[in-house]
Amino acid sequence: MSYAAPTPTPYGQQAAGDPGTLDLPYYGIGFVDAIKRGFSKFVRFDGRASRSEYWWWTLAAAGIPTVLYIIGAIIGVSTMDKTTGAMGAGGVVFYVIAGLLSLVMIIPSIAVGVRRLHDQNKSGLFYLLVLIPSVGGIIMLVLMCMPSDPQGAQYDRRN
């Protein structure tokens, strides 16, 4: 099966569908598949990521630890030692798990961000813009929302 670079539809969206390989972006990917692809391409900075792949991954990378922190806070408060005010062990366990999960997701989050920039035919070095205080995050937010550029295929893995 051959795969051509996507051509824009009239409304600026790329054609959806599984390309059948991890080497190409998956336009129209769902939440679970985006998580699987994110971990499958854990440290791959080559290739491209569709907008949906990036945003589903970002939702999971931010949402899952947040839910664990909330559960930890609820358990910690409900098992709190009334005399000392110390959080219960159950809450601490959830906090540790959420913290470790957040650390584990840093590298794949950077990788999917770089691949998202590649899908727009931009160098992955643009990701360093997040280091600019105050405006770096806003610039990256705008860049991650931009549509795909078929010329980004130059960043695909060559066999």
- pLDDT, one tens digit per residue, over 26-73 is 999 999 999 999 999 989 999 999 999 999 999 999 999 999 999 988
Two tokens at 117?
Answer: 């920039």
> Phi/psi of residue 151, each to 5°?
-70, -10
CA distance 42 to 105: 9
Q: Is 142 inside a domain boundary?
A: yes
Global pTM value: 0.81
Q: Is 13 inside a domain boundary?
A: no
Q: DSSP letters of 29-75?
A: --HHHHHHHHHHTTT--SS---HHHHHHHHHHHHHHHHHHHHHHHHH
63: amino acid identity, one letter: G
Domain of 133, in residue numbers: 31-155
Task: Say how many domains are in the chain.
Answer: 1
Q: Is 86 inside a domain boundary?
A: yes
Q: What is the largest CA-CA distance in the chain?
A: 68
